Structure formats: C-alpha cells, structure tokens
Structure 1
Amino acid sequence: MTTAEEWNEAFTPRPVHEYLESTVAEFGSRPAADFMGKVWTYAELGELVDETAAGLQAMGVGPGVHVGLCLPNTPFYTIFYFAIMKVGATVANFNPLYVEREIAFQARDADVRIMVTMDLKIIYDKVEEVRKEKILDKIIVCPMSFCLPTVKKVLFSLFKRKELADIPNDAAHIRFDDLLAKGQKPKPVDIDPAESIAVLQYTGGTTGVPKGAMLTHKNLSANIEQMRCVFEKARAGEEKMLCVLPFFHVFAMTVAQNLSIILGAEMVLQPRFELKSLLDAIKRKKVTLFPGVPTIYTAINNSPLTENYDLSSINLCLSGGAPLPVEVKESFEKLTGCILVEGYGLTESSPVAAVNPLDENRRAGSIGRLVPGTSSRFVSIEDRHSEVAEGEKGELLLHGPQVMKGYWKRQDATDEAITPEGYLHTGDVGYQDEDGFIYLVDRIKDLILCSGYNVYPRVIEEAIYQHEAVDETIVIAIPDEYRGQSPKAFIKLKDGFSMTGEDVKTFLKDHLSSIEMPREFEFRDELPKTMVGKLSKKELVEEEAQKRSEAQAKSA
C-alpha cells in the first residue's frame, strides 16, 4: 500500500481548469452534460468556457477578483466555474436558497462585486436587492431558455413567463449572450496551484458566523486525483453521473462535477431534488454513478414510486454530508444491486478525507479509510496538544494536500483550526482501528446536520429573538428519520404574551431558509441555565435523548 508521503511525492498539483482541457482533448465528442434532455458535448462545453473566459477578461476579471456564483445545477454553473478559474480569478459559491441578508453578508465578506445568477425571479430578485445596497457592482444574468430543449423552451415561454425576472438594460446588468466573446479564447494566465485561491467556500464552523475556506488549485486538484484513485474501477469516457446534489455545496462540486470532468463522464443535471424527476433521469440516461446524501437514498427506499423503475444501471453510490444509517445502506443496496459506501469530509478539506473501500471490505458504521496522501492524528478533547493512545477516542485531525490554505480574512480562526504542522482540527470525535478504519462517535460542535447541510442554532435563535414576544430561546438538534437531524426550538415567552408553534413558523418564514426552519417548537416557563446564568443546552439534549430512549423501550 502506498504511504501518504509516497503519494504526495508523486502528486503534481495542476490548475483545476486543465482537467477540463485534457478531457475536451480526449473525449471532445462525448456528452458532457444533460439538462432536461438537452445535451452538450465536451467540445461544446470547452468552447463555451473559452468564450465566457474571454468575455470575463474583457470585463477586467482576473487574478485577485472574486466572482460569485448563485446558480442551481445548470450548465451555467460548470461553464462559469471553469471560465473564472481559467482567467485566474476565484469562484465564491452562493446557495440560491439563501435569503437576501445571507447573500449580502457573504458577498460583502468575500469581496464579491460581480455575481452570476439566473433570470428566474426566485433567485434574481434577491441578488438584485443586494446590488441595490451597493454591495455588488454587476450582475451577469443567465437565461433559463438557453438550458432547455426546443419543445420545453416553447412550453416554458408559454406557461412559465411569470417566473422570469425583468432585467434592466444598463451597464450593471450583463446578459450571458452579450458576455460571450464568440470564437475567442482567453489570454493565458500564470497560476501557482499552491497559492492561487480557486474557490472561496463558506462554512459556519463552530460559531455560526460564516467563514470563507480558501481552497487553492492544489487543494482541489489533490481531491480530484484522490477521488480518481478511490474510483479506480470507473471507466473513463463511459460513466454517467447523477448530479442532484447542488454544485454550490463542496461535496457535489468535487464528487459530482470535478470527478465527472476527470472521468469524462456525462453529468445528468438535476436543478433540485424531486423524486420522480430523479427516477426518470436514472431510467432515461441509465445513470451509473450516484453521489448523494442519506435523505435522498431514504426517499428512494421508502417511495412507492420506486417499484416502477429499473435502477440496475447504478454501479456505485457515495454518501456524504451526514451519517449514513446502516438500515438505509442495506435497503438501498438490496433495492438497486449497487454498492453504497459512506465517505467523510468537510469544507476545509476540499472536502473528501475518508471513504469506505468499494469492495467487500467496507464496514458499516465506519467512515472508511483515509484517501491517498492523507494522514491523521487523534488528540485529547481536554488537551488538543496531547495525542491519545491508539484506539482511544479523541478529536480527529487531518493532514494532506487537500487541506485548505486557511480562512479568508480570519487569521485567528485559521490558527485555531490548523496546527503549525498543518493538521486540521475537524471538531469530530472518533477513533481508528488496527486496520485503519475510522469511526466517529460524537461531535464537538453544536451544528445541526440537516440533509447534509450545516444548520446553525445561533442563526435560528437570533431570528426567533426578533419576535417581540420571545424572552429566551434555545435551539438543539433532534433526530429526523428523513433529514438525519432537524432543529427543535425551546422558547420562553415574555409575560403577557401567548403564541403557538405555527405562529412562530409563520414569523420565521421571512427570516430563515426552509432547511433552517425548526421542525418542533416547545414553550416553557423557564429554560435551563448554567451557574453563571448562561442558557444551557446540555439539559435539553439529555431530556430529548431520554424521551427517545423511553419511546424506543415502549415500542420494543
């Protein structure tokens, strides 16, 4: 077995866009992307990337410029992702489901002055409001009609016109067709893979205040190469990758998009998760690779729709974003006949750090072994400078070429997260067995892992506090069979006020995204506090665990 040191010696970092160029040269006539039945070849994709890159250069986009992508999974995401990198600029990913305040905060923090988005009102209107606040200078607007096959384009123009935004004709708004430098290529740019920031990927960490992880070309190219090693049996130029996880999420960006590019695979793009559409796509395209999160595999397992579909084309699924329940894994493998393995990573490691073997050696309940070129340590929770004995539980630390450069404009947070030797504190507690398999047993953080997304209790609490009737609130995670975890809010009202959970939910709709919305609300006369008067979550977490234990005992 190759050691981490040996793999790293053999690894040569590359600018990320070079992977696309290599695939265009080798598989130019192969399909690169399918969106609702409209297909682009790798040659066509490469040409669009070049023309977009040349147009961006003409705008003055280059090294040091951060361009925001607020896009669902469409060809536009991939086009702009590689075009931005090709001119030496940096991609800043934005979730299109963000509310306006979240877009504004991140754009300001990331120094984003140019945003790429769609002409759909549901996304564009929020971005335009941020521009009106003078946070953005320009918006590049991509037409939904470009993505659609002829018949669907006609139907969309007839029945969905009200969903399109009214785009002003001025210098602040640039239409995609006007940006394209037809037939042109960008001027070459020197990129240092180890230093040049390819992507600013925001993550909340332990504080709930989003921080931009600086992922260099070296970080991303390392994770691309590491995943290619993991998927060593994948057939170059033949695979079909289901891309239902959003590319603005680091897991999908690497495992669905970037891995597809190095493989010359066809990306079957899904703009959002809708079960019938997903099953139709698998059947229509005979999908072979399917990265997902446990909630998606659970939905497929439990839906009566599934029995109407042949899913036997799927060879391999990689689950990430949240712990994969053993029963979900076993049911899905029985249903499809494919291999479903669990992986592990975090934004700060680009993201993949460990994956279960793709053979019979995989182990349920484990996140698997470290990917090539990666090493680990386990340190004491009480003393993060002290390593624990082999097999003992401790905080997992990671070292490898995929570990981020640091947090954008947060040197203090960087120093806290990365040791002088380059090891990344993950905040996850676990242990490693004698065969190298890692098991995670707890989390240091209070983060709620909801459908693969980090949901921050503090953000929810602050939104609840905006209601005049609320005196105190605590938000914790509770188990959710579908999403893995969901938020639960405990609320103490001010004297003289009364309200229901539905009242709170109605109020929060303008303050929180759907993924952040608490699943349960509980009103109490008092909330637990520490000796010094701070609100304490520990007692509520223990109470919920006791409730679950008693409920399970009754049902046994």
Structure 2
Amino acid sequence: MSDLHAAALPSVGPGQILPFAATRHPDKIGLVVGDRRLTYRELDHLSDGVAASLRARNIGPGDVVSLYGQNSAEWIVSYHGALKAGAVVNPVNVMLTGPELSYVLSDCGAKAVFAGAAQADTVEGALQAVASVELFCVFDGPGGAHENAVPWAEFLDSASDTSAPSAPKVTPKDLCCIGYTSGTTGHPKGAMQTHQAVLLNCALTATMHGRRDDDIVVTALPAAHVYGNVAINSTFLAGGTVVLMERFDAGQALRLIGTENATMFEGVPAMYSMMLADPSFETAELSSLRKSTIGGQTFSPSLAERWQARVAGPVLELWGMTEIAGLGTTHSLYAPPVPGSIGVSLPGIEIKIAPIDGSVGEVPVGTPGELTVRGPLVMLGYHRRPDATAEVLSPDGWLRTGDVAYVDDTGHHFVVDRLKDMILTAGYNVYPAEIERVISSHPQVTMVAIGKRPDEVKGEVAVAYIVAAPDSDLDATIISEYCRVHLAAYKRPREVVFVDALPTTSSGKLMRRKLTELDPTFTR
C-alpha cells in the first residue's frame, strides 16, 4: 500500500479524483466492467477526451450534463469528463419513463445528454419536449441508429485536442451536481450539491470504511444513485479497484467475488436477500471478503447474521440520502459492531433527533424522533423549488430527513422507518420496517414488504407482501402465527399476500407505494 501525500489530495471537488489516482497508480486497474479492464491512466485519459469534446461543442462551466444509462465504463468517464469541463452533472435514474425524463431534463435545463444504447429510444422521445439539449450522445452498444444522436466514438473524435484540459476555476462551494429524488409524491426534486459535499462524502466514507489501494470492490449499485457514486468514487480516491456490474444478478455477484478476489461487497438489503437465497451461496468462494456495506433501507439483523455465517469481515451498516450527496452515518471498520444501528455521524457532520411534529428541540435518548442533519454535506437546496427547500431546510442549516430514528447512550443511531410510511392503526403508530425485520427473520422468507390498506374501523391496517423461499411450504397461517409470537397485536399484518417479486427502485430499495398494484383485493 502506498502512502497518501497530504499536499496532493484533492481539495476542490470530485473532478480531481481521477487525476489524483492516475498520478499515484497510473498502470493499476481502476475499473472492471464485464470484459473491460481500465487502468487509472486510461480512465483519466478517456475522461480528458470527454472534457475536450464537450469544450469543442461549447459545453462547459455551469452547463448541465445529464447521464441516463445502466452502469458502464462510458457512464463513469462521462461523469468525470463533464466535471473536468466544469459542467454540472445530472445523474438520472435509469428507471425513469419518457415523460419523467422529459421533466428532469427540462427542469435542470440540461445542455447535453449521454445515454446507454438501450435507453436511446426513451431519450429520443423525451427530447421532443425539451428545448435546452444541444448534444445527445449514445454509448456504444446494441440498438438502432438515432437521427439526432451522436455515437460515442464519433463524439470522442470531435475534439481536435484531447489532451488534459485546463481545469476550469471552481470553488468548493460551487454547484457540482443536481440529483433528483425518487419523487414519491408529485414531481421529483433536484437536490443541488456542491463540489465540497460530493468530494467530502467520498473522502469521509473512505476513511470510515478503511478503504485501501489494495481493495477490490464488487458492486451493482447504480452509478446514478448517491450510494453507488460514493461506493465507486471513494474507492477511486483510495486507489482501489471497482468491479462494476451493469445490473445486479445474485449468482453473478457471488461468482465475481470469487473470481476477482474481492475484498469488499457493497449493496442494499434486497441484494443480500437474493444472494442468500441463490443456490450457489453455500458453495461460493467468499473467503477474500474482509468487509461489506449495507444501506438504503432498514433490514432484519438476521440478514447480516446469515451473511456473516459465511463471510468473516464485518457488515458495515450505513444511512444516507440524495440531499447529503451520499452517506450521513456509518460504522468505522475498526469500531466494535453495534448490530441494527446505522452507526455514528461522519466526521464533522452533526446529527440530531428532533420531535416528529417538526418543533424545535431534541428528544431524549432512546425516544424516536425525526433524524436531522447539519454540515458541509447538506444540499444548497432544491433546484427552482424554494418552497420545497423551506419545508426541509431550516435557516440555521438543519435538514429534516423524513426518517424516524432514535439514538442510544453511545451515540449510535437506529432508523425506525420513513415518517411517510408510518401506519396509523386504531390510534397506534405502526412502523412497517419493524414488521419487515420480524417477518424477514423467518427462514422461509426471501423478501418482505409491508404496505397499508384503508380500514373503516381502524383507519389503516398493515398488509404483508412476501416472496417465499424456493420450495418452501409457507402460507398465511404460518406467518400469522410467527407474528403473533414476535409482535404486539396492533402491529400484526391483517393480511398476507404472496408474490413472485417486490417492486424496487434502480438501487434495489423497496417501493412501498407500488405494493397495492400487487394486491388484487385493494380498492382505491
């Protein structure tokens, strides 16, 4: 392992990460995607080419460059090339439909769009309602020709000078990224992040997780998601190798851990659940792993226990959100484990548990309240939405996260659930995540999600949607009895619905708002 020289560390923004890594490890493999293996020198050179080609088309400082596609090497170098050109990056959830994409591109005023070949048709349709876009570039891959699109190879050849561009003058507080929320109600909102916030999140995450230049990280987290962005770029910052899956497949992930001698896996609970249920899990070669991360949603501690029965390294739980450019809390690699906790705040970040009703103050240790955060990771605000910004960001800098949590006397935080997902049944507050943790601990349950249904007597009742393990004999009676033993009467689901799969976001998080689409008995 090489030593870091403090004077050489990036100090302005994430656009410095690849040049920094290429200076320290020019011939080391930085990124593996499928059959492609790119050194840091190659990644740096390719991203220089993107920056130069953008400059040649008069796209630069302050212009918004949108990225819409599955994980790929082209996506990664376009992200870094846009930053090197001084542009503002807009990573877009690949699951957005055409109308949703049109809204995002119009709202942020995108000047350029880079897309995967499989997404090109969607972009072409969306652009009919977007006036600001001047460049539509399609990454190489299967797909038909598009009249208004520039192929990736042609785009890279469009610059007469592809040498390292002169770095545009940006300050740590300048706008770096506009990341849109999932838009659970109404249109998604664009969280505006500074160069400082994005770089600092990567640096602090690398510190807490003990990332090293000999780390080999396997992940299928979407690069467009803040969790995926930090997983990738904190590894680059440390000089490690990222083995990036285009999309998640449990069997493939298990194989890659073995064939690449991975030291780290990063994912969300659904990914771990699917790997544990995969027939190859018990025989997979996992001995090289020395740590894993899990975040994005609450989960049963039994999930981590089952993983660690075969994997020696710790499972580092974490919590984060788009509005803080990634992580806000996690565990240090070398600290004693606190199962079920999302950890402690990143260095220099303040975390406070405030009253759920939104009033000023703090709640006592052990009492649930709303998780709030303050510090240099917090967004500047929502793009063109001062009203929405004022709802969540106080004048003194505290961000209301919408997560219900509590803190113990050691300073470790525990997320209870999302405030908007809380079920009010017969006057009691019921948190779906608590029920999910209990049901997911049943050995015949692969995945579970708790939704709610209107009830004339109780107001709302909980409904369990369950993916049973292969060849199980699970039925509603077994689940009801299991809940009777482990949950108070008012918390128990009033119905159990067995399904083949659960709706998830591109990052693998459960989409509770879509659960009713799986329930044939639900009426609006």
Alpha-carbon shift at residue 356 of structure 1 (Å): 2.5
The equivalent of 2:172 in structure 1 is 193
CA distance in 1 between counterparts of 2:84 and 2:389 reads 27
CA distance in 2 between counterparts of 1:376 and 1:305 reads 40
The reply to whether residue 319 of structure 1 matches residue 301 of structure 2 is no
Q: Which moved more, 1:514-523 or 1:86-95?
A: 514-523
The equivalent of 1:139 in structure 2 is 136
The reply to whether residue 248 of structure 1 matches residue 245 of structure 2 is no
2:307 aligned residue (332, 336, 359):
332
CA distance in 1 between counterparts of 2:254 and 2:59 reads 40
Contact 1:34 1:40 in 2 (8 A): yes
For 1:480-523, what per-residue CA distance to the aligned partner results, in whole angstroms no more than 9, with x for missing partners? 5699xxxxxxxxxxxxxxxxx9xxx9xxxxxxx99675462243
Please tell me the residue identity of whatever aligns with 1:207.
T
CA distance in 1 between counterparts of 2:32 and 2:250 reads 18
The 1:345–1:252 alpha-carbon spacing in structure 2 relative to 1, beyond 3 Å, is same
The equivalent of 1:101 in structure 2 is 99
The 1:383–1:400 alpha-carbon spacing in structure 2 relative to 1, beyond 3 Å, is closer
Contact 2:89 2:178 in 1 (8 A): yes
1:357 aligned residue (329, 332, 335):
332
Identity of aligned residues (%): 27
The equivalent of 1:530 in structure 2 is none
1:260 aligned residue (225, 232, 235):
235
- 1:35-184 to structure 2, matched below 5 A, reads 35-120=33-118, 123-135=119-131, 136-144=133-141, 163-168=142-147, 172-180=148-156, 181=159, 183-184=162-163
Alpha-carbon shift at residue 268 of structure 1 (Å): 0.7
The equivalent of 2:407 in structure 1 is 432
For 1:131-164, what per-residue CA distance to the aligned partner results, in whole angstroms no more than 9, with x for missing partners? 23344443111103xxxxxxxxxxxxxxxxxx52
Number of residue pairs matched by the alignment? 442
CA distance in 1 between counterparts of 2:92 and 2:102 reads 10
Q: Which moved more, 1:474-483 or 1:19-28?
A: 474-483
CA distance in 1 between counterparts of 2:24 and 2:10 reads 20
Alpha-carbon shift at residue 183 of structure 1 (Å): 3.9
CA distance in 1 between counterparts of 2:322 and 2:99 reads 22
The equivalent of 1:412 in structure 2 is 387
The equivalent of 1:235 in structure 2 is 212
The 1:331–1:396 alpha-carbon spacing in structure 2 relative to 1, beyond 3 Å, is same
Alpha-carbon shift at residue 353 of structure 1 (Å): 0.8
The equivalent of 2:319 in structure 1 is 344
Alpha-carbon shift at residue 381 of structure 1 (Å): 1.8
Alpha-carbon shift at residue 105 of structure 1 (Å): 1.4
Secondary structure (helix, strand or coil) at the match of 1:304 reads: coil
CA distance in 2 between counterparts of 1:394 and 1:134 reads 41
CA distance in 2 between counterparts of 1:401 and 1:117 reads 31
Alpha-carbon shift at residue 130 of structure 1 (Å): 1.2
Secondary structure (helix, strand or coil) at the match of 2:420 reads: coil
Give ranges in structure 2 of 5+ residues lacking alignment.
1-8, 423-431, 437-448, 452-459, 470-496, 502-508
The 1:414–1:372 alpha-carbon spacing in structure 2 relative to 1, beyond 3 Å, is same
Contact 1:87 1:189 in 2 (8 A): yes
Contact 2:86 2:167 in 1 (8 A): no
Please tell me the residue identity of whatever aligns with 1:173.
A
Query: Aligned-pair RMSD on alpha carbons?
Result: 2.9
- 1:491-530 to structure 2, matched below 5 A, reads 518=515, 520-523=518-521
Alpha-carbon shift at residue 261 of structure 1 (Å): 1.1
The reply to whether residue 303 of structure 1 matches residue 272 of structure 2 is no
Alpha-carbon shift at residue 479 of structure 1 (Å): 5.3
Please tell me the residue identity of whatever aligns with 1:164.
G
CA distance in 1 between counterparts of 2:464 and 2:96 reads 23
CA distance in 2 between counterparts of 1:281 and 1:390 reads 42
1:212 aligned residue (190, 206, 210):
190
CA distance in 2 between counterparts of 1:235 and 1:190 reads 30
Alpha-carbon shift at residue 208 of structure 1 (Å): 4.0
CA distance in 1 between counterparts of 2:105 and 2:463 reads 29
Q: Which moved more, 1:203-212 or 1:83-92?
A: 203-212
Secondary structure (helix, strand or coil) at the match of 1:439 reads: strand
Secondary structure (helix, strand or coil) at the match of 1:290 reads: strand
Contact 2:114 2:136 in 1 (8 A): yes
Contact 2:221 2:228 in 1 (8 A): yes
Contact 2:101 2:123 in 1 (8 A): yes
Q: Which moved more, 1:434-443 or 1:177-186?
A: 177-186
Give ranges in structure 1 of 5+ residues lacking alignment.
1-10, 145-162, 458-473, 484-500, 506-512, 528-556
CA distance in 1 between counterparts of 2:124 and 2:399 reads 37
CA distance in 1 between counterparts of 2:201 and 2:375 reads 10
Please tell me the residue identity of whatever aligns with 1:235.
R
CA distance in 2 between counterparts of 1:410 and 1:329 reads 39
Alpha-carbon shift at residue 79 of structure 1 (Å): 0.4
For 1:346-375, what per-residue CA distance to the aligned partner results, in whole angstroms no more than 9, with x for missing partners? 111112111123346221121111111111
Contact 2:59 2:111 in 1 (8 A): no
Please tell me the residue identity of whatever aligns with 1:406.
G
The equivalent of 1:376 in structure 2 is 351
The equivalent of 1:539 in structure 2 is none
CA distance in 2 between counterparts of 1:116 and 1:31 reads 24
Secondary structure (helix, strand or coil) at the match of 1:164 reads: coil
Secondary structure (helix, strand or coil) at the match of 1:445 reads: helix
Contact 2:298 2:415 in 1 (8 A): no
Alpha-carbon shift at residue 477 of structure 1 (Å): 7.7
CA distance in 2 between counterparts of 1:139 and 1:324 reads 40
Alpha-carbon shift at residue 12 of structure 1 (Å): 8.5
CA distance in 1 between counterparts of 2:73 and 2:385 reads 33
CA distance in 2 between counterparts of 1:203 and 1:187 reads 33
The 1:114–1:480 alpha-carbon spacing in structure 2 relative to 1, beyond 3 Å, is farther
TM-score (norm 2): 0.78
Alpha-carbon shift at residue 174 of structure 1 (Å): 1.7
Alpha-carbon shift at residue 220 of structure 1 (Å): 0.7
CA distance in 1 between counterparts of 2:369 and 2:77 reads 42
Alpha-carbon shift at residue 420 of structure 1 (Å): 1.3
CA distance in 1 between counterparts of 2:96 and 2:303 reads 29
The 1:481–1:258 alpha-carbon spacing in structure 2 relative to 1, beyond 3 Å, is farther
Alpha-carbon shift at residue 410 of structure 1 (Å): 0.7
Please tell me the residue identity of whatever aligns with 2:241.
E
Alpha-carbon shift at residue 476 of structure 1 (Å): 8.5
CA distance in 1 between counterparts of 2:369 and 2:226 reads 26
For 1:515-542, what per-residue CA distance to the aligned partner results, in whole angstroms no more than 9, with x for missing partners? 6754622436x76xxxxxxxxxxxxxxx
Q: Which moved more, 1:41-50 or 1:435-444?
A: 435-444
For 1:268-289, what per-residue CA distance to the aligned partner results, in whole angstroms no more than 9, with x for missing partners? 1210111222222222211111
For 1:464-486, what per-residue CA distance to the aligned partner results, in whole angstroms no more than 9, with x for missing partners? xxxxxxxxxx9988555699xxx
Secondary structure (helix, strand or coil) at the match of 2:136 reads: strand
The equivalent of 2:483 in structure 1 is none
Contact 2:209 2:332 in 1 (8 A): no
